[in-house]
Structure formats: C-alpha cells, structure tokens
C-alpha cells in the first residue's frame, strides 16, 4: 500500500465550497479593477506568499478566520489604478490603502458566496496591509485552508512572481 491511505486523498483536496467562493470573489474584484487573471493553482496547505504586499482581513460568524490577498507591487499599482481609474508608478499611501480596499472587496464577495453554508461568516474586520516578504503566518491546526493563485498576463512583466495574485482563506467552524 502507498504512503497515503485510501481515506486520505480527500484531505489533500481543497474544500470545494471555499474554492468556488474565492475564485468567484477574485474574478469579480479583478473585473472591477479592469484586470484579467486566470487561476493557475490551488493549495489546501499554507505556502509562502509570492508578492511583496499582503492585505489581511479577519472574518467572524458561524466560521471564523481570515482572508489574505497577496500581490506584487506591480499588480497592486495596476489593480488600484484600475479601481480608481488612475495610474501609479510607485507604491504610495493610496496604493497601500487601495490594496486594503481590494482585500475588503474580495472578503465581501467570499462572504456573499458563503452565506447559507456551514462556512458562513457575518462580520469582517478592518483590513491590514503588510509590506515586505519577511513575515510568516502561523496557522492553527484544524483550520480549513484554501489558496488560489492567479496569473495576470502582461507582456511587460517578465518575472512570474510579479504576475501572481494569491488569495487564501483559512476558517474554522464554530
């Protein structure tokens, strides 16, 4: 028998209700930001975040946890620029605040999608924005975790990690 027992493969699959909520919320938010990206990966275990800017928002209700939105500086500037119909050449307080708002929009979309499910939450906190790569998030055991990675196609951006958007949700049912 292999190292993975017959009952274990399901534990390796992302929770489909959470994954659908994340993908839908990100797609809708990026449309508002005048960006298109396709989902290129899914993880049911926490991995390191590829970008330099991370929006984080706590969620509470029947399930509690948090949503993170991780992007490169270039994606943050383009997404906030699309949302505000403006152009940014550097990360400034408006881009940082806008990244928090994008995190709020995505968390709101996930909240709407999860309404009426066992994963429903009714409250969200004020978003926080972390700048830099030198941090780690410690996850408690027992959390359901789903991360979806999206690639923003831009011929002017050569490095893969500058084109990635990673949105994760970690929840525990109360």
Average pLDDT for 31-51: 89
Kindly report the CATH number assigned to the domain that includes residue 62.
3.40.1550.10
pLDDT digits (tens, 9 = 90+) for 46-80: 878 888 999 999 999 999 999 999 999 999 999 99
pLDDT (0 to 100) of residue 48: 80
Res 117 pLDDT > 90: yes
| Cβ-count burial 55-93 (b if 16+ within 10 Å, e if not) | bbbbbebebbbbbbbbbbbbbbbbbbbbbeeeebeebee
Of 2-11, 101-110, 121-130, where does mean pLDDT reach its minimum?
2-11
Tell me the whole-structure pTM to 2 decimals: 0.89
pLDDT (0 to 100) of residue 29: 97
Asked if residue 4 is part of any domain, the answer here is: no
Give the whole-angstrom CA distance, residue 117 versus residue 15: 12
Asked if residue 155 is part of any domain, the answer here is: yes
Residue 129's pLDDT band, with cuts at 50, 70 and 90, is very high
pLDDT digits (tens, 9 = 90+) for 153-169: 776 666 767 778 999 99
Give the whole-angstrom CA distance, residue 155 versus residue 8: 41
Asked if residue 7 is part of any domain, the answer here is: no
Asked if residue 99 is part of any domain, the answer here is: yes
Range of the domain at 126: 12-173
The tokens for 153 are: 């196609």
Total domain count for the chain? 1
The tokens for 97 are: 């605040």
């Amino acid at each position: 028998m292999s190292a993975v027992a017959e009952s274990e493969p399901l534990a390796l699959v992302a929770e489909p209700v959470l994954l659908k909520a994340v993908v839908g919320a990100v797609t809708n938010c990026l449309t508002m930001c005048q960006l298109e990206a396709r989902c290129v990966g899914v993880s049911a275990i926490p991995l390191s975040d590829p970008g330099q800017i991370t929006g984080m928002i706590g969620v509470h209700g029947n399930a509690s946890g948090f949503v993170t939105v991780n992007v490169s500086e270039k994606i943050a500037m383009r997404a906030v620029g699309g949302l505000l119909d403006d152009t940014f050449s550097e990360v400034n307080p408006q881009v940082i605040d806008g990244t928090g708002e994008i995190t709020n929009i995505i968390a709101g979309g996930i909240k709407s999608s999860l309404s009426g499910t066992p994963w429903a939450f009714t409250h969200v906190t004020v978003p926080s924005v972390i700048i830099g790569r030198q941090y780690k998030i410690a996850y408690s055991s027992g959390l359901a975790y789903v991360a979806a990675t999206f690639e923003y196609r831009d011929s002017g951006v050569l490095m893969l990690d500058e084109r990635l958007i990673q949105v994760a949700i970690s929840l525990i049912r109360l």
